[in-house]
Amino acid sequence: MSLGQIWYILWRRSWIVALTFVFALIVAGAVLLFLPARYDGIATASIDPGSINPVTESVGPATTVMLIQGNLMQLVQSHRVAVDVVKRLNMAAAPQVQADFRSSDSFGREGIEDWLAETILKNVDPKFQPGTNVLTIKYRTTEPNQAAIVANAFLSSTIDATIAMKAAAGDQAATWFAPQLDDLRKDLQTARSALEQFQTRTNVVAPSASTGVDSESATLAAVTQDLANNRGLLTSLQSRLASGSTDLANDPTDPDLQLIATLKEKISGAQADIDGVKNSLGANNPKLVAASSNLATLRKQLADAVDKSKEHLKQKIAATQGQIASLEVAQAQAQKTLITAQAQRDRLGDLQSDVAFKLDELNSRERAASQARLQSKLTFADIAVLDKAVAPISPAFPKPIIVIPAAIGGGLFLGMLLALIAEATDRRIRFPADFAFATSAPMLGVIEASRRHAALGAGRRRGLLTAS
């Protein structure tokens, strides 16, 4: 269908367009004249979403901000806030409100404040401006002053409810953790008392942190070392006694060996003197006789010294054996003391571990309680009032600047649409193309009307086209 054909159809159906246009203007006028004006009271507030998490001290994700915004909008539309608004403004005291309540279906089922709260919730609209943390609370009503008053009341009640819920969440966390913390503190005190009583009774302390060695182990190690040294000394003494060795190298500090070594040197010197004069002097020479007598005396002293050394050696062996026996007894006692002390020290370690475990558990639970109290602050953000609602001067709806252009545009568009629909439902043939559509046969030609026939009326032209 060409543009000319559409224009022709609209011209022929202009009465439909005109009637529709006039009807739209009448409806717009009725809306402006008879529909009660609606006024919007708007109160705004800025929220601090608490982007820094007080528990982890890290920046919270964007989903946290969206969660807080969603929580706040639900809080504004909650029954709790609405009831608080009703109580703040004493709305239930109005005679008209009481009369409306008595005539409603809720009369006798719920209180007037609950009924009124549900009523005003239908007219409140909270939202956040896109890309901001600004909360807008809009309240719609037919009274401009009431719209501003109720919007401000909703904002104040929301702020108070936020503060109350934060405090309640913290109190709830503290109440839940308090008995657990008390029990843990009692358990810790009991463990500490048991540790102190055990240390007082046994006089056992933990090994030194610097050396890691306890006194009992040190005592046993010292006794064991002394026993090993004495056993080695006994073996050496017994070997000397069995071999009869009088060499000073065996024990340079031994007085007997020192004396024997001195006598051996003197004997060697005396023997050398005798050998030196033996060939030059006679056998009966007094000097040779004196030297031989001195040599015999030295040998006698050497023999006595060796015998005395053996006797002393036997005494040392006996003393060393007695020392070894004492050390063996001391070693056995030290081992028993160490075993007993080790058992006590293991018990001490168990008690200390129990104290440390209960202390860690108490600290962990205290941290959990602190985190729970801090985490409750993330549920709702801090709110600061930006602008309080003021009584609007002009209504939000209906507005002539919107209703009239909408009526004009809508009336024209709807009229043209109805005209085209009417033409589409009309099956009469008016154009050559209608023949092909109606008969499904090819069109052979068109006989146009002459200028003389152009002045004929529309009814005659339609009759001619139909007859042809």
Q: Which run of H or E residues covers position 140? A: strand 134-141
Look up the pTM and report it. Answer: 0.48
Answer positive or negative: Cα dihedral of 105, 110, 116, 119.
Answer: negative
Per domain, the residue ranges of the chain are: 3-173+379-425, 215-377, 432-467
Instruction: Report the C-alpha gap between 431 and 4 in whole angstroms.
Output: 12
Give SS3 for 82.
helix
- Say what angle helices 79-89 and 62-76 make with each other, to 10 degrees: 50
Residues in the chain: 468
Question: pLDDT tens digits, the chain, 468 residues: what are they?
Answer: 578 777 877 888 888 889 998 998 899 888 878 778 888 999 999 887 654 444 444 444 545 677 778 888 898 999 999 999 999 999 989 898 889 899 988 888 889 999 999 999 999 999 988 888 889 999 999 889 999 999 999 999 998 888 787 777 666 766 777 888 888 889 889 988 988 888 888 777 666 555 556 777 888 889 899 989 998 888 888 887 888 777 777 778 878 778 888 888 888 887 777 777 666 665 566 777 777 788 788 888 878 888 888 888 888 889 999 999 998 999 899 888 888 878 887 888 888 888 899 889 888 888 877 776 665 554 455 678 889 999 888 888 787 888 889 989 998 899 888 988 887 787 666 666 666 666 666 777 777 655 555 554 555 444 434 444
Residues with Cβ within 8 Å of residue 379, at least 6 apart in sequence: 68, 71, 165, 166, 169
Query: Which residues have a Cβ under 8 Å from the Cβ of 452 and sit 6 or more positions away?
Result: none
